[in-house]
Amino acid sequence: MHKTSRITLAALALTGCCTALAQSNVAIYGRINTSIEHQKVGDRSVTAMVNNNSRIGFIGREDLGNGLRAGFKLEGGFQSDTGAGMLNGGGFSFGRSSHVYLSGNFGKVQLGRAGGSSYDYVADYGVLDEPNHDTGTVSDALYYGVTRGTNGISYSTPNIAGLIVEAALSMHEKDPSSDMKNSVDLSAIWGRSNWNFGAGYTKRGERNQWGLRASYTYEAFEIGAYIQRADDPVSGSVCNRATGGCGTRNSGRVNTMYTTGPSQFVIGYGWAGSWSEQRDSDAKQIMLGYNYHLSKRTKVYALFTKYDNAKNAKYGYSFNGGVGYGQDARSLGVGLRHAF
């Protein structure tokens, strides 16, 4: 009798476990994105293997009934060319995203670390994300990011006739390593027929930015463009100014893509004007890309990008050895991306 009871209890425990698993959903996801590029920065050139924001993550959700749902997301980046994490010394963390949320008919409330939707809805939407997910040397280095993201509280509305509005607050928690200011991020996205529009505003201490975007799709063609106004009265590092901030600056970008079968052809142009407190701090970028999709998750690609920096500008991501003030930078390469 005692043995039978133990077997029954074990069966009940196993049934309860499986029932719990059936009520929730946890998945591992990520992508490995690696390219081989010939880069030239100023008079320095190198052929290098480049990691393009490779990452791994975990997402989970539980249906609570009556339209209520709880979930989480953990995501961290790693160097696909070396296997190291993104922290100093090669350590790994969930620095890209670490949050828990509750959603329902009321919208979505989220707690933890996440990127600002003002960037997602303006500079990283649709064709503006192409040809390589706005990563690596071909990415948009001219967009001025302000969002802190850590210790975040956000609320997004439900989809109302194609409109979603999101508000986020990042608490400084009296952290002496930060600028001791809360960060505020406000954004909205609205789509109708072939059109989609985005808007975003971010303020962190004395720094702030706002941007507007429009995207249009017609059959195999897609075009997207944004404008941004940035204000940084604090730091002079982005404009080679020894004391004081850089002031205000306007920037913009337009990308277009043509899709035929598994092939995508992308061309983009971006510009950033000089900061108001520093002359000759403007820049422009041209970008060409080609994607060939072997499947929904795997593609091979080719890319070319070139930054023209004025003497007090140093725009450019993922270039070996970095980009200095006044240095032009360009890269030509091929790559392979696999998502899982």
Is residue 145 a contact partner of residue 119, using CB atoms and an 8 Å limit? yes
Per-residue pLDDT at 332: 99
Per-residue pLDDT at 11: 44
Per-residue pLDDT at 147: 78
Per-residue pLDDT at 58: 98
What is the CB-side half-sphere exposure of residue 128 using CA atoms within 13 A?
Answer: 27
Per-residue pLDDT at 180: 58
Q: In whole angstroms, what is the distance from residue 179 CA to residue 130 CA? A: 33
Per-residue pLDDT at 6: 43
CA-based nearest residue to 331, from 294, 293, 289, 299: 289
CA-based nearest residue to 333, from 65, 35, 125, 111: 35
CB atoms within 10 A of CB 193: 8
Is residue 226 a contact partner of residue 212, using CB atoms and an 8 Å limit? yes
CB atoms within 10 A of CB 189: 22
DSSP string for residues in 281-336: --EEEEEEEEEEESSSSEEEEEEEEEEEE-TT----SS-TT---TT--EEEEEEEE
Q: In whole angstroms, what is the distance from residue 127 CA to residue 124 CA? A: 8
Per-residue pLDDT at 181: 73
CA-based nearest residue to 52, from 309, 329, 299: 299
Per-residue pLDDT at 10: 45
Average pLDDT of adjacent 10-residue blocks, the chain of 340 residues = 43 47 78 98 97 98 97 98 95 96 98 92 97 95 89 96 96 69 93 98 95 98 99 95 96 99 99 98 99 99 99 96 97 98
Q: What is the model's pTM? A: 0.89
Burial of 314 (0-12, 13-18, 19+ CB in 10 A): buried
Per-residue pLDDT at 176: 64
Domain ranges of the chain: 105-339
- The top-level CATH class assigned to 105-339 is mainly beta
According to DSSP, the residues that pair with 71 across neighbouring strands are 61, 101
